[in-house]
Structure formats: C-alpha cells, structure tokens
Amino acid sequence: MRDLALNTVCEEAACPNIGECWKQKHATVMILGRVCTRACAFCNVATGRPDRLDPHEPGRVAEAVAVLGLAHVVVTSVDRDDLDDGGAEHFARTITAIRAAASGTTIEVLTPDFLRKEGALETVVAAKPDVFNHNLETVPRLYAGVRPGARYFHSLRLLDQVKRLDPALFTKSGIMVGLGEDKGEVLQVMDDLRAAEVDFLTIGQYLQPTPKHHAIARFVTPDEFRGYASFALGKGFLLVSASPLTRSSYHAGEDFTRLRAARAAKLAAG
C-alpha cells in the first residue's frame, strides 16, 4: 500500500478490525482520493475539497492485487459529488485493470450512491464486478442526522436497479446499529432490502470515531445480533453477518465463498 501510494478505508475510517485484517493481508482499497465531498456524522474519513483524480490509480490498485496474490479484493471510495459521474468510470477502470493483472481475483465494489449522476450506476455494473455493495448505513428516520447528504430511498432504488441491470450479480448492503434505531425499524430495513432482492446483509455496532461524531445511543448485545441474523435469514437473505465488529468488508473473501455456496444450494433445492 505504501510503495504504490494507495489509500485504504481501514486506516481512513479507523476500522477496529485493522490489526486482524492486515495481519492476514486483507485490506479494502479506497480509490478517488482521501477527501470526501460529504460529511456523514458517523464517518472518520476526511471531508473537504477533494483530491485531483489520479488516472494511474487503477493500474496501481491492480498491481497491488497481483503482488499480494489476493483471491478476493474489496474496492471502495470516498463520495465525489464534484465529478460528473461521481467516479463511476474510475471504478470501472479499476475493475478492468484488476481483471487484466489478476484474472483469478474476485472483485467486490462498495460504491457511493451516485446521487444525481445519470448513467453512473450502469457504468459500474457494465464492468462486471462479482459483488456490488452499497450500504444503507441506518434506518430512514435517522438519515437527516447520520447521513444528511444521502437519501434512503435513492440508495434502496440503486440496489434494486443493480439487480435489474444484472440479475446474476451478487448485491450486498449493511447497516450500523446503536445509533438510536429500534428493532421494528431494523426489521423494516430488512424487508426493504429483500424487496430489492439484496443477497447479503451486514449488521455491525456503531462506534463513535471521535467526540465530534454522532453519539452512540447504546451497545447492542450479542444476543440481539444473533436475533437479527435469524430474522434476516428467515426473510430470505442468502447470507447474513451480524456481530458487534461486523463491517462491510470484514471477512469479505470468506463470505464471498459462502455466498456462492448459498446460491448454489438454493438453486439446487429449486
């Protein structure tokens, strides 16, 4: 990462799992710079005037994937509302470069919402990642305080549209709990995601990065996480990861293997 001047969300977002993941050579690459054009109340990534787009970044990401010999890679980004396509073409070029440098590597993208960026989603889907992830982050009632630059139903429609564009593409989304939501609201989010045919749901405990960020309303118990996982599987998700330390790309490679196996088993069962 240092030699190739790459950014990771592991560092920029102060992920609590960074020690475990980096020890296993798992890192989530963050493209499109280190500065986000939004200021979500839960996120530790810097916000302000964004970096100039680096046209050589996709090639460096691909080189890193090949050198590390990764079986699965997660590529995410900051929000780039300043770009006409929100960075979609940069995502596509990164996917293409990885395919050329490491054809056996499966690719998961965790994208922004591409709000008001006509054609952006289609550009990313056409590049054919193996997993398309976009996080809802929280329940609709809390969006104004937690994710003020985004729109819950736009994000939901984005995930629905991915499946319409490519039904074979795995879709994934995640939320944080402990922000002030209640159980009924979490279950409604599950129903909304299943209506959009989302395959994989992640649920993790929100941890406040700094005193300036959104306060923690409470710590959700392990039993509650197990309960959420049970509800989600009952609603039809192929895979669920629900635990205090669950994050979007935590154990992503292993989860992708499980996701493919779950789809195969469902197809075999008719």
pLDDT at 208: 93
In this prediction the pTM is: 0.93
What radius of gyration, in Å, describes the C-alpha atoms of the chain? 17
- 172, β-bridge pairs: 133, 200
Per-residue pLDDT reduced to its tens digit, 24-67: 566 688 999 999 999 999 888 889 999 899 999 999 999 999 99
Question: Within a 10 A sphere around the Cβ of 118, how many other Cβ atoms?
Answer: 10
Rounded to whole angstroms, how far apart are CA atoms 14 and 10?
A: 6
Contact between 171 and 159 under an 8 Å Cβ cutoff? The reply is yes
**Domain locations in the chain as residue ranges:** 7-269
Look up the CATH number of domain 7-269.
Answer: 3.20.20.70
Phi, psi of 139 (to 5 degrees): -80, 155
Q: Quickly tell me which residue has 């995601």 as its tokens.
A: 193
Per-residue pLDDT reduced to its tens digit, 201-219: 999 999 998 999 999 999 9
Which residues have CB under 8 Å from 157's CB, separation 6+? 196
Per-residue pLDDT reduced to its tens digit, 144-200: 999 999 999 999 999 999 999 999 999 999 999 999 999 999 999 999 999 999 999
